[in-house]
Structure 1
Amino acid sequence: MRFQQKCRDKFHRSKKYIFLFSLIFLKGGVLLFLGQRQNLIKLFAQVFEYNLKDLALYQKRKEQQLFTRSINQTIKLQQQDIFQSHDIQLKKQLLIFYIKDELELNF
């Protein structure tokens, strides 16, 4: 009986921290923390900071992808305009540009 009472008391004292356990995830594993309140708050703050940094990196990658897509789209439109035009001089310049670009990439 005493053991059950001790377990119940311990659970009721730590009950207010249990909701945080479900919030603390790192790389798919659950971090269980059975310590003092200050340490738990520090740990929660570190996890929150880690998530913010991860979110910022994700946002930055998305912006770079959108920027790259817009540049590629602009280049394709310019190429289409040049090839659709009847100006032979422009086509020659574009061909020379591609050849130089390929040579730089290969060497």
Structure 2
Amino acid sequence: MSDIKNYRELYNFVTEQDPNALEKLMIFEKFLLVRCGFEWLSDDTQDQIVEKLHSVYAEMADKVKLSDFLSAVYELIYEDLKGKPEKILRFQKKHILDKIDSFLCTA
């Protein structure tokens, strides 16, 4: 990766590996920024949370901006999960979709 000379090359490198990598990184970053204990979870658990939330976002992407989705994730973490992001893994995808959708409707 040291041969990468600019952001375009970095973008191309990352998205060639996974076309959704940037969205997943933004979800990952949101968890780090809200300082909810996510950073203390194992790498595997962090990856599972990001993948699960990205699959939820993929279903909503045609009707919601990623930034709005991330704001709703923040609300979900603090209102429903009481700052314990690992609880997301226990929720069914439909439950997360409904919660995110309800946060977006009230915003």
TM-score by length of 1: 0.23
Relative to its length, the structure with more helix (as a share) is 1
Q: Which has the larger radius of gyration?
A: 1
Instruction: Report the TM-score when normalising by structure 2.
Output: 0.23
